[in-house]
Amino acid sequence: MGILSGKRVLVTGVLTDASIAFHVARIAQQEGATVVLTGFGRLTLVERIARRLPEPPPVLELDVTDTGQLASLAERVSVHVDGLDGVVHSIGNAPQSALGGNFLHTPWEDVASAVHISTYSLKALAVAALPLMSRGGAIVGLDFDASVAWPGYDWMGVAKAGLESCARYLARDLGPKGIRVNLMAAGPLKTIAARSIPGFDGLAEPWGERAPLGWDVSDPEPAARGCVALLSDWFPATTGEIVHVDGGAHAIGA
Ligand SMILES: NC(=O)c1ccc[n+]([C@@H]2O[C@H](COP(=O)([O-])OP(=O)(O)OC[C@H]3O[C@@H](n4cnc5c(N)ncnc54)[C@H](O)[C@@H]3O)[C@@H](O)[C@H]2O)c1
């Protein structure tokens, strides 16, 4: 019996087997969940990666900026599972002009794209999945600590600050339906999304020295376990929360 035994979980954001979402899906299955994945764009690649999971799950197409795909999501998911106990939002993207020290010169269109994909999408995904959810359900999003300004993270940092706020408002509005909404703030991990951030290595390297528990940028397991714990019934009275899985770095001054 795992901590997600009998639960049905929708996991977005698998792109490679380094994706945090891949490891969330893997551990969720190991803990007894039935998993459905969504993929963006390169669907055949996502399907190939999905075959590396303990039980290859179905992969549905979802671009979180596509209102048609969002509107049909519940119906498409319900072909595979008769409801959802958990939804994982593991999605982020910003145009290059929004990252890497160009903060003062990023045009609104590029900021809007970052916020649409990385922030508003949490609300859009929650509403799309809501017809399949009931009391005891959990939504978990992936965050990077937005309480300070980071080198190079720029408008993605602003989008993450918005995501933190968005999660609190969702927690307010979905709480009466018995649905929890929480974020997991991971320390830096080497993924495709991380590679697109200029100066990521400079941000990631000192992390392990600052973190009381240390931090391995190549090990997504702690972050994935944190997500699975938040999906489980072991946080029954926690919502609107940000759980840091970063080796403790957030608690320590420079
Ligand atoms: N890697 C890190 O250091 C780190 C740290 C903390 C939080 N996070 C967050 O974790 C989440 C997952 O990122 P990752 O590091 O696993 O990288 P990743 O590149 O593997 O995942 C990012 C995902 O976002 C998806 N995506 C982009 N645009 C989309 C769209 N329009 N519709 C649907 N999906 C779209 C991509 O397909 C990809 O699967 C992101 O929210 C990221 O900000 C990452």
Q: Which of 7, 120, 153, 169 does the annotation list as catalytic?
A: 153
**Closest by Cα among 19, 141, 13, 39 to 86:** 141
Give the model's pLDDT for residue 174. 98
Nearest CA to ligand 1 atom 1: 189
Alpha-carbon gap, residue 15 to 24, rounded angstroms: 13
> Measured from the CB, is residue 117 less than 6 Å from ligand 1?
yes
For strand 8-11 and strand 34-39, is the pairing parallel, antiparallel, or unpaired? Answer: parallel
pLDDT tens figures, 41-91? 989 999 999 999 999 999 999 999 999 999 999 999 999 999 999 999 999
Secondary structure of residue 120 in the 3-state scheme:
helix
Structure tokens at 202: 């400079």
Residue 254: band (very low, low, confident or very high) from pLDDT cuts 50, 70, 90: confident
CB-based contact 81:36 (threshold 8 Å): yes
User: Is 120 annotated in the active site?
Assistant: no
Nearest CA to ligand 1 atom 3: 188
Give me ligand 1 centre to Cα 144, in Å: 11
Alpha-carbon gap, residue 58 to 77, rounded angstroms: 9
The residue assigned the tokens 């408002």 is 169
Q: What percent of the chain has pLDDT over 70?
A: 100
Neighbours of 105 (CB within 10 A): 8
Structure tokens at 196: 């697109």
pLDDT tens figures, 190-244? 999 998 999 898 889 899 999 999 999 999 999 999 999 999 999 999 999 999 9
Alpha-carbon gap, residue 111 to 97, rounded angstroms: 9
Instruction: Tell me what the pLDDT averaged over the chain comes to.
Output: 97
